[in-house]
Amino acid sequence: MAEFGENNGREAEEHEGTNGRNAPALACGTGDPALTVPRELWPSNHDQRKKLVLHIDLNNTILVSDTVIAQGIEAALDHFLSTVTWGKISKKGKWEWLSDSASLLPPCDDAVSYYSHFGKIAGFTSAAGRRFRGILDEHLELLRWPEGTKGDRELSVKGAGGQLYHWILPSFFQLLKDLVQEGREFAIIFRSFGSDLPRVLSAVSRALNEGAHPLFPDLPDLKLNVNTTPGKIRCSRRGIVVSRAKESISTRDGERGLYQYFSSVQGLGGFQDHYDWWASNTFSIRGGKPLWVDPFDQHVQHIFIDDHIRQDDEHTIVHPKVFLDPGGTETRTACTSELYDITLVQTDLLRAISHPSYFTQRVHICLENYERNLQQGAG
């Protein structure tokens, strides 16, 4: 399999020296978070026999909250807006907005997000970001629990003003329905630094087994199993250890073993990642949530969906480890930009709230891009 794209190969080589000798460099994704694939094209262009393993973050990805920093729904969404609104400092030293809309990617090269320049500001849309207050209110309204239905102890949550909101985004449950309808083999692995994992596993289990969600009462028909025992991923200079209940596997046995472990997961489950390790690595790719990628594997595709994925490797949250050879044990760290929209998806929380098929669309974009790479590499 040949390298795809001069720039991608060069980025990988610069990042890892000469270690990328045999590993195919995956071509860049679209970089366009607004791109969608028409529903009628979804099933036809992909290998239905390929198993999908979706690693999905919780906070600000399928949950509008962040327990790591104790943010409720309104505060979390308000903060998110400060990370996707853009401006710059003028020649006079004053902040100038460059757009009245929100977007994951900057509108121009010299734009910076409000958050990256000023840091965390409480009440962003009530002060400096007042022009974005309408976006906040619109999406809070979309998050409201269905009127006329009783709140659920696990699936709904009260906001600061007593309003009931969805705790887990409906677009996540729509993803499950779509994948089953397409006849795909898949597994869901929740990956979070926070403490919400046990509750999420319990809530998803109730929705899938008891039909407790008012918008998706037929979820039990999907026949999906949930492992409600949370696991742990712990990283150190000595290696990575993955454990759940009586299971335990580490990189001391080779990285291929961990790839095979995650590739063989069935149903839905979750692991708490190692926040302290990420922090000790200055919140960069080096300490991020590990993801093993085998570009030679024709049967399994891993995709990681997380709101904190960044194309800047010094500020991203997933550590992609790409195998160098078919069946080999050695890996290289891949640049985020190399895998963006191929195996790495930066969650657009606003679209995940407003578009029921958002996650399904993102998965299909990754499938299209990944398949294109395989075809080009075989040519």
How much is the pLDDT for 332? 96
The residue range of the domain holding 294 is: 6-63+168-378
Residue 154 domain flag: no
* Strand arrangement, sheet containing 344-346: 247-250, 239-244, 231-236, 267-272, 186-192, 51-56, 300-306, 344-346
Same domain, 263 and 350: yes
Looking at 101, 124, 142, the residue that finishes a domain is 142
Beta bridge partners of residue 232, listed in sequence order:
243, 272
| pLDDT band per the 50, 70, 90 thresholds, residue 4 | very low
Residue 305 domain flag: yes
Same domain, 107 and 240: no
How much is the pLDDT for 68? 58
Q: Which of 285, 287, 237, 231 is nearest to 261 (CA)?
A: 231
How many Å apart are CA 375 and CA 2, to the nearest integer?
Answer: 10
Residue 161 domain flag: no
Question: What is the model's pTM?
Answer: 0.87
* Nearest-5° Cα angle at 24, 49 to 239: 90
pLDDT(358) > 60: yes
Same domain, 30 and 174: yes
Tens digit of each residue's pLDDT (9 = 90 or more) over 73-96: 999 999 999 999 999 999 999 999
pLDDT(6) > 90: no
User: Which pairing describes strands 51-56 and 300-306: parallel, antiparallel, or unpaired?
Assistant: parallel
Beta bridge partners of residue 56, listed in sequence order:
190, 305
Percentage above 70 pLDDT, the chain? 84
Residue 180 domain flag: yes
Same domain, 232 and 95: no
Residue 112 domain flag: yes
pLDDT(248) > 50: yes
Same domain, 200 and 337: yes
Looking at 125, 142, 159, the residue that finishes a domain is 142
Residue 203 domain flag: yes
pLDDT(279) > 50: yes
Same domain, 235 and 322: yes
Q: Which of 243, 257, 269 is nearest to 189 (CA)?
A: 269
Residue 162 domain flag: no
pLDDT(11) > 90: no
Same domain, 42 and 92: no
| pLDDT band per the 50, 70, 90 thresholds, residue 70 | low
| pLDDT band per the 50, 70, 90 thresholds, residue 12 | very low
| pLDDT band per the 50, 70, 90 thresholds, residue 371 | confident
Between 184 and 371, the more confident residue is: 184
The mean pLDDT value for 288-304 works out to 96
Same domain, 193 and 252: yes
* Nearest-5° Cα angle at 182, 176 to 184: 75
Q: Which amino acid, 311?
A: Q
The b/e string for 340-357 (b: 16+ C-beta within 10 A; e otherwise) is bbbbbbbbbbbbbbebbb
Tens digit of each residue's pLDDT (9 = 90 or more) over 117-144: 999 888 999 999 999 999 999 999 999 9
User: 357: left (phi > 0), else alpha (psi -120 to 50), else beta?
Assistant: alpha
How many Å apart are CA 83 and CA 114, to the nearest integer?
Answer: 6
Q: What is the dihedral of CA 158, 163, 166, 167, to 10 degrees?
A: -20
Q: Which amino acid, 40?
A: E
Which has the minimum average pLDDT: 3-12, 50-59, 277-286?
3-12
Same domain, 74 and 220: no
Mean pLDDT score across all residues of the chain: 87
Residue 195 domain flag: yes
Name the strand (E) or helix (H) holding 345.
Answer: strand 344-346
What 8-state DSSP symbol labels residue 27?
Answer: P
Looking at 142, 160, 177, the residue that finishes a domain is 142
Same domain, 115 and 241: no
pLDDT(220) > 70: yes
How many Å apart are CA 336 and CA 317, to the nearest integer?
Answer: 10
pLDDT(20) > 50: no
How much is the pLDDT for 328? 94
Same domain, 373 and 257: yes
* Number of structural domains found in the chain: 2
The mean pLDDT value for 197-208 works out to 97
How much is the pLDDT for 39? 41
How much is the pLDDT for 376? 66
How many Å apart are CA 51 and CA 262, to the nearest integer?
Answer: 12
Same domain, 109 and 254: no
The mean pLDDT value for 25-36 works out to 41
Residues 168 and 155: beta-carbon distance below 8 Å: yes
Residues 58 and 196: beta-carbon distance below 8 Å: yes
